[in-house]
Chain A
Amino acid sequence: MQESLPITGASAQLRGAELERAMRKRWSKAPFERLIVLSLWLCGTVSMITTVLIVLTLAEETRAFFMEVPLRDFIFDTKWTPQFEPAHFGVWPLVFGTLNVLFWSMVLALPLGLAAAIYLSEYAHPNTRRILKPVLEALAGVPTVVYAFFALTVVTQDILRPLLGQDRVPIFNALSASIVMAVMILPTIASVSEDAMSNVPRELREGAYGLGATRLEVAFRVVFPAALGGIIAAVLLAVARVIGETMIVAVAAGSTPQITLNPLNSVQTMTGYMLAIGLGDSARGTVDYTSIFAVGSTLFIFTFCANVAANIIVKKFKEQYE
């Protein structure tokens, strides 16, 4: 009953020069496609040029800064007092301000965020997840200035001070900033990690369940390690946000550069300093002005190192499941 159907079309009959012509790239036939490619290329180029310009400016002003302040002082001095006499330009107090807030916000956000991710991906009913995830992600959309004043008023004045004592908690402190920062990055950590964990193939989970693993064991011994790459990416995103966050620390953490990891101190972060000076009226070319760029370069180096470190960690520990 099977008749031979003409499943090969006329194009299969072409040979020689005709065939060659038919198989050529067809630029002329797709001007629209060329337009798209061109505009994509333009977008890429513009953003690349912008980046290069930013780095150049940063480098130039940083160079100007180090004409006046020796690099040795910048690295080995332990005080940062550019506006007092005698002026000190040791960057560590600002670095520690950033590390202080980073450390405490991570201490708070990591366990909570990962627990939320594990709950959402391994335990929650699909319907629960459908509702909870967008709600969580909406949290990430709250403007940081709202978080900033929330830190200063509610967290410091209504929670920390009554809880820990008026005299132990300065009005500007690292802890309040760390707490709201943790709230701010929690959705990022939870949501991005959850994506990574949900992407772990179902076969792997079934394999583990089939061996008599409990939900918890499946989550921690199979899903978590398999999703580690994505989870580290999530954490890195969060780290980058905390390091770069300016408004919250400027409003709530204070303006006292000091080398400490005590969260109950008033501290100044790198970004906090840059904002404070940037808003002031220091003229171009002054040390005050160029110091912003020196600190900016430092920040840049830190985030760069964090990126490299994360890449190495991911390479080393990620369990491939392709």
Chain B
Amino acid sequence: MSNSVDLRPASTGQRAAEGTLERPMAQAQPGAIVEPEGEIAITIENLSLWYGPKQALTNVSMKIPARKVTALIGPSGCGKSTLLRCINRMNDLIPTVRIQGSLYYHGVNLYGPDIDPVEVRRRIGMVFQKPNPFPKSIYDNVAFGARVNGFKGNLDQLVEQSLRRAALWEEVKDNLKKSGLALSGGQQQRLCIARAIANQPDVILMDEPCSALDPIATLKIEDLMRELVKDYTIIIVTHNMQQAARVSDYTAFMLTDEQVTGQLVEYGPTEELFTTPKDRRTEDYISGRFG
């Protein structure tokens, strides 16, 4: 298509090259970025991203473990959403975006020249900050992905199972024909999670999934994440550090400062990062001294 952007990492744009030279490299403290144990689902290597001339990520490298919850934290505007949206190629939809570096999903280069972003998004699902159910019935919302992906099995069963896993079934089972928009915010968000699960993804990306919800709905979603992580790899962006501490196994702290935009400062097991941060800036952030 004429308007699709060339996002292949190999084709380093002229400006991109200049951009990295002008700015100092993102320099993480030695030992501040830990490689998780066990199976790795996603490997990010030297990822940089620009919105037009404006850089949003600089040389991010990290490995995200499979079947674990990984949290991305950091002050507003540091590039958490941007990084998350790189993982399922959601940024392809923004015409001005340019990417450099690589992302691998179980060893497959997600930005490889022959990779179809639609296939990427089927495997790497997403739940957005603002609940965004389609203006369709609850049933049609959950069945949407299955329908566009040519699901052959029993659709009723899939819808029920997905709603059960999203802990929403009991609340909606008698009203599957009702509009998804008639639900409360928390229910809508669980509907969006059900919708993502129904697609039978491998990885689920969640961008501040609880920011529009009350504490009880938030707890429900957090419980759900702990439940889902038995089968799925979950990556969550959150502003709530207690939430990161509660739900995640690994935490990444990102930061934009005067020198470097969108850098990964520290990454490791959640407990270590919160109790014995290796970088001064992480310590400042988690103790609430800035950001």
User: Which A residues fall within an 8 A CB radius of B?
Assistant: 123-126, 128, 201, 203-214, 217, 221-222, 225-226, 319-322
Known: A211-B199, A320-B179. A206 touches B132 (CB 8 A): yes
User: Which B residues fall within an 8 A CB radius of A?
Assistant: 1-3, 88, 90, 93, 95, 118-119, 121-122, 125-126, 128, 130, 132-136, 144-145, 147-149, 179, 181, 192, 195-196, 199
Least CB distance, A266 to chain B, in whole angstroms: 45
Determine the chain A residues whose CB is within 8 A of the CB of B88 once the complex forms.
210
Determine the chain B residues whose CB is within 8 A of the CB of A128 once the complex forms.
3
Q: Are B93 and A211 interface neighbours, CB within 8 A?
A: no
Q: Are B2 and A209 interface neighbours, CB within 8 A?
A: no
Determine the chain B residues whose CB is within 8 A of the CB of A209 once the complex forms.
90, 93, 121
Most chain-B CB neighbours within 10 Å: which of A207, A217, A320? Answer: A207
Ordered by A's residue number, 6 sampled pairs between the chains whose C-beta atoms are within 8 Å are: A206-B128, A207-B134, A209-B93, A211-B195, A212-B199, A320-B179
Q: Are A124 and B144 interface neighbours, CB within 8 A?
A: no
User: In the assembly, what is the distance between CA of A100 and CA of B136, in Å?
Assistant: 36
Q: Are B125 and A211 interface neighbours, CB within 8 A?
A: yes
Q: Are B121 and A210 interface neighbours, CB within 8 A?
A: yes
Known: A123-B1, A321-B181. A212 touches B136 (CB 8 A): no
Which residue of chain A has its CB nearest to the CB of B1?
A123
User: In the assembly, what is the distance between CA of A319 and CA of B128, in Å?
Assistant: 20
Determine the chain A residues whose CB is within 8 A of the CB of B196 once the complex forms.
210-211
Known: A206-B90, A206-B93, A225-B135. A211 touches B3 (CB 8 A): no
User: In the assembly, what is the distance between CA of A225 and CA of B137, in Å?
Assistant: 13
Looking at chain A's contact residues, the main secondary structure is helix
Contact of B122 among A203, A204, A205, A212 (CB under 8 A): A212
Least CB distance, B120 to chain A, in whole angstroms: 8
Least CB distance, B212 to chain A, in whole angstroms: 12
Q: Are B1 and A204 interface neighbours, CB within 8 A?
A: no
User: In the assembly, what is the distance between CA of A210 and CA of B195, in Å?
Assistant: 10
Q: Are A204 and B3 interface neighbours, CB within 8 A?
A: no
User: In the assembly, what is the distance between CA of A217 and CA of B181, in Å?
Assistant: 21
Determine the chain B residues whose CB is within 8 A of the CB of A124 once the complex forms.
3
Q: Are A213 and B118 interface neighbours, CB within 8 A?
A: yes
Which residue of chain B has its CB nearest to the CB of A207?
B132
Determine the chain A residues whose CB is within 8 A of the CB of B126 once the complex forms.
206, 210
Determine the chain B residues whose CB is within 8 A of the CB of A221 once the complex forms.
144, 147-148
Determine the chain B residues whose CB is within 8 A of the CB of A322 once the complex forms.
181
Determine the chain A residues whose CB is within 8 A of the CB of B136 once the complex forms.
225, 319
Determine the chain B residues whose CB is within 8 A of the CB of A203 once the complex forms.
128, 130, 132
User: In the assembly, what is the distance between CA of A226 and CA of B133, in Å?
Assistant: 12
Determine the chain A residues whose CB is within 8 A of the CB of B133 once the complex forms.
207
Contact of B121 among A204, A211, A320, A321 (CB under 8 A): A211
Q: Are A212 and B149 interface neighbours, CB within 8 A?
A: yes
Q: Are B90 and A210 interface neighbours, CB within 8 A?
A: yes
Known: A203-B132, A222-B134, A320-B181. A210 touches B3 (CB 8 A): no
Q: Are B93 and A212 interface neighbours, CB within 8 A?
A: no
Which residue of chain A has its CB nearest to the CB of B198?
A211
User: In the assembly, what is the distance between CA of A319 and CA of B199, in Å?
Assistant: 23
Q: Are A212 and B90 interface neighbours, CB within 8 A?
A: no
A214-B118, A214-B148 provided; 16 other pairs, C-beta below 8 A? Answer: A125-B2, A125-B3, A203-B128, A203-B130, A205-B93, A206-B126, A207-B133, A207-B195, A209-B93, A210-B126, A210-B196, A211-B144, A211-B196, A212-B119, A213-B118, A221-B147
Known: A124-B3, A211-B121. A319 touches B135 (CB 8 A): yes
Determine the chain A residues whose CB is within 8 A of the CB of B130 once the complex forms.
203
Q: Are A213 and B192 interface neighbours, CB within 8 A?
A: no
User: In the assembly, what is the distance between CA of A210 and CA of B127, in Å?
Assistant: 8
Which residue of chain A has its CB nearest to the CB of B129?
A203
User: In the assembly, what is the distance between CA of A205 and CA of B93, in Å?
Assistant: 10
User: In the assembly, what is the distance between CA of A212 and CA of B196, in Å?
Assistant: 10
User: In the assembly, what is the distance between CA of A203 and CA of B133, in Å?
Assistant: 9
Determine the chain A residues whose CB is within 8 A of the CB of B192 once the complex forms.
207
Contact of A217 among B2, B90, B135, B148 (CB under 8 A): B148
Which residue of chain A has its CB nearest to the CB of B122?
A212
Most chain-B CB neighbours within 10 Å: which of A211, A214, A217? Answer: A211
Q: Are B95 and A125 interface neighbours, CB within 8 A?
A: yes
Q: Are B95 and A126 interface neighbours, CB within 8 A?
A: yes
Most chain-B CB neighbours within 10 Å: which of A207, A212, A226? Answer: A212
Least CB distance, B178 to chain A, in whole angstroms: 12
Determine the chain A residues whose CB is within 8 A of the CB of B199 once the complex forms.
211-212
Least CB distance, A132 to chain B, in whole angstroms: 13
User: In the assembly, what is the distance between CA of A128 and CA of B200, in Å?
Assistant: 37
Q: Are B121 and A212 interface neighbours, CB within 8 A?
A: yes
Determine the chain B residues whose CB is within 8 A of the CB of A210 once the complex forms.
88, 90, 121, 125-126, 128, 196
List of 7 A-B pairs having minimum Cβ-Cβ separation, nearest first: A319-B135, A212-B122, A210-B126, A211-B145, A203-B132, A125-B3, A207-B132
Determine the chain A residues whose CB is within 8 A of the CB of B145 once the complex forms.
211-213
Determine the chain A residues whose CB is within 8 A of the CB of B179 once the complex forms.
319-320
Least CB distance, B136 to chain A, in whole angstroms: 6
Q: Are A204 and B132 interface neighbours, CB within 8 A?
A: yes
Determine the chain A residues whose CB is within 8 A of the CB of B122 once the complex forms.
211-212
User: In the assembly, what is the distance between CA of A209 and CA of B149, in Å?
Assistant: 12
